[in-house]
Structure formats: structure tokens, C-alpha cells
């Protein structure tokens, strides 16, 4: 699958027992979006991404990608339609190199995982593509360094390179800068901003400086529901958003002065 597409949810929700973790969410991710999903701890941001990617089955509503309805599709099928994600926690193999990590991801995409006798030309094409992806994320100089020896910010970039190996149309990034020292997180987001413009990106981020620098739209999730969705200027001017954030302990150090 290739080409830009729109991801859309209609009245999406999930309950865990009596607890409604996400409810009535109408989210639209336009082609080429650079959209932030923000909200207090426990608001349901990761749960929403888990619903979009098929980790959880919704208890209400539906999910659509272009003309495809995803609501009941497996995570694998959604990935094949062009939906990719990264996780809040590091999921890399520490002893592999970045090059091999990306080669494996490309092989997986092509269904070549178990085919060791593939033609040499195809082998070269996979390596060329892996080098190009690493180059795009400015990891080419580190292609042969074991993952365990990479700075954490570089590891997070590698996770994005691996997600990109699936040739996604939509990329969902769950706190891509989590655990990354502050002086490396700007560089990480610059790399994200430079990904091909036809890929739609939704990212969860707590650092408001990064959110306001790198998003073109912001969705604010509070207690499982979208409180407001708009441009950074609209979100920054919204009194309810200020109230939500100023009510949170520690909000000041997250740069809420910008909200
Ligand atoms: N599998 C589950 N079973 C029961 N409750 C769950 C489950 N997954 C999430 N929750 C609950 O749903 C709520 C939303 O959690 P979620 O992790 O989506 O929040 P979040 O906005 O991503 O938070 P944070 O910013 O801290 O990562 C929380 O109260 C959480 O305890």
C-alpha cells in the first residue's frame, strides 16, 4: 500500500470493566499530518494508540483508514495497510547493529525473513534500502555499532527507522523522546519533522516546547475524551487546556507557559 491517506475514528471507545478509558473519540489524522496527542497522565493516550493499531479491540465506535475499515482487523493486517508505530519503551535487540535491525525489518516486510537463499541482487537492494533509511535518520555513521552502545536518543531514532522500514502511510509515535536527555530530544524531533511529507504522523509527547515546535495540529485528550483539537495557536489560547495543565502538579517544568 502506498500514498497518503486519512485515519479517522468515529465515536471510538474502550471500557475496562466499568472504567471508560477512552470514549466518544472522533479523531482525524489528515494526509501529511504532524499532529500531537497530549493530555495528563492516565488520560488514555497510549490506550488510544493501542486501539488504532489493533492491540485492543474497541468496545464502541469504529476506525477507518481511507476506504478501509480497521475496527476489527488484526494488528498485522493494519500494518500491511500502512499503519506503523513505535512504543514508549525501547523494543530493540541490544546486540544487533542498526544496519541488521533495519535489514531484518525490511525482510520481514517483504516476507523474506526465512529465505536465506534469496537472489544476491535482492540482498543488495535490501542493504541499500537499509542504508538509505539509516541515512534519513542520520544514523549511517553508526550502522555497525551494536545497539547497546548507542546513545538512547540514537536508539529511539533507530526505532523510527525500523517503523519506516514497513513503508508506512501513517506513523504513530508513543512518546518518541521518552527517556532521551533534553539536549538530544530536539534533534530527534527534527529528524521526525524531516520524514517524507506524505507520511501522516501522530505523536504523544509531554514536553510542551517540543509539541508547540513540531506539531501543526494538537489533540488534547482528558479523561479519555478529546477536549479540543486545533492548531497550536488555538490550543495555546484555550482556557480549558490551561486549566487542565495548570491543575497538574509539575506542569510548570513541562513548559506549560506556552499553553
Ligand atoms: N489493559 C488495561 N486494563 C485496565 N485498565 C487499563 C488498561 N490499559 C490502560 N488502562 C487504564 O486506562 C487509563 C489510561 O491509560 P493510558 O496508559 O492510555 O494513559 P496515558 O494518557 O497514555 O498516560 P501516560 O501519559 O501516563 O502514559 C489509565 O487509568 C490506565 O490505568
- CATH code at position 190: 3.40.50.300
Residue 58 lies inside a defined structural domain of this protein: yes
Residue 218 lies inside a defined structural domain of this protein: yes
Is 254 close to ligand 1, i.e. is its CB under 6 Å away?
no
Residue minimizing CA distance to atom 11 of ligand 1: 21
Is 181 close to ligand 1, i.e. is its CB under 6 Å away?
no
Residue 222 lies inside a defined structural domain of this protein: yes
Residues 6 or more apart whose CB falls under 8 angstroms from that of 203 comprise 35, 36, 37, 172, 173, 174, 175, 176, 192, 214, 215
pLDDT band at 253, cuts 50/70/90? very low
pLDDT band at 4, cuts 50/70/90? confident
Residue 151 lies inside a defined structural domain of this protein: no
Does this complex have an ipTM over 0.85?
Answer: yes
Query: What separation in Å is there between the alpha carbon of 148 and the centre of ligand 1?
Result: 29
Query: What separation in Å is there between the alpha carbon of 65 and the centre of ligand 1?
Result: 24
Is 42 close to ligand 1, i.e. is its CB under 6 Å away?
yes
Give yes or no for residue 44 having a pLDDT over 50.
yes
Mean of per-residue pLDDT scores for the chain: 89
Q: How many domains does the chain have?
A: 1
Tell me how far the alpha carbon of residue 149 is from its chain's centroid: 24
Torsions phi, psi of 76, nearest 5? -60, -45
Is 21 close to ligand 1, i.e. is its CB under 6 Å away?
yes
Residue 231 lies inside a defined structural domain of this protein: yes
Residue 109 lies inside a defined structural domain of this protein: no
Query: What separation in Å is there between the alpha carbon of 140 and the centre of ligand 1?
Result: 36
pLDDT at 35 (0 to 100): 97
Residue 18 lies inside a defined structural domain of this protein: yes
Give the range of the structural domain holding residue 192, as residue numbers without chain letter. Answer: 7-90+168-258
pLDDT in tens, 65-123: 999 999 999 999 999 999 999 877 777 888 899 999 999 999 888 876 555 566 666 78
Give yes or no for residue 246 having a pLDDT over 90.
no
Residue 139 lies inside a defined structural domain of this protein: no
Amino acid at each position: 500500500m502506498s500514498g497518503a491517506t486519512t485515519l479517522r475514528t468515529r465515536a471510538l471507545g474502550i471500557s475496562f470493566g466499568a472504567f471508560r478509558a477512552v470514549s466518544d473519540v472522533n479523531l482525524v489524522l489528515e494526509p501529511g499530518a504532524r499532529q500531537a496527542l497530549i493530555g495528563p497522565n492516565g488520560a488514555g493516550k497510549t490506550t488510544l494508540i493501542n486501539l488504532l493499531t489493533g492491540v485492543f479491540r474497541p468496545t464502541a465506535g469504529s476506525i477507518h483508514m481511507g476506504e478501509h475499515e480497521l475496527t476489527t482487523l488484526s494488528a498485522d493486517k493494519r500494518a500491511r495497510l500502512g499503519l506503523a508505530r513505535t512504543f514508549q519503551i525501547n523494543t530493540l535487540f541490544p546486540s544487533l547493529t542498526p544496519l541488521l535491525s533495519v535489514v531484518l525489518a525490511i525482510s520481514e516486510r517483504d516476507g523474506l525473513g526465512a529465505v536465506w537463499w534469496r537472489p544476491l541482487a535482492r540482498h543488495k537492494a535490501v542493504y541499500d534500502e537499509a542504508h538509505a533509511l539509516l541515512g534519513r535518520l542520520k544514523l549511517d555513521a553508526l550502522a555497525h555499532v551494536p545497539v547497546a552502545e548507542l546513545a538512547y536518543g540514537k536508539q529511539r531514532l533507530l526505532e523510527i527507522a525500523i517503523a519506516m522500514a514497513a513503508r508506512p502511510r501513517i506513523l504513530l509515535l508513543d512518546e518518541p523522546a521518552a527517556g532521551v536527555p533534553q539536549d538530544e530530544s530536539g534533534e530527534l524531533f527534527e529528524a521526525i519533522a524531516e520524514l517524507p511529507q506524505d507520511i501522516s504522523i501522530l505523536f504523544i509527547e509531554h514536553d510542551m516546547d517540543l509539541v508547540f515546535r513540531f506539531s501543526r495540529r494538537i489533540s488534547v485528550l482528558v479523561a479519555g475524551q478529546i477536549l479540543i483539537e486545533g492548531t497550536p495557536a488555538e490550543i495555546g489560547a484555550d482556557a480549558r487546556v490551561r486549566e487542565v495543565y495548570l491543575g497538574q502538579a509539575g506542569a510548570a517544568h513541562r513548559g506549560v507557559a506556552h499553553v
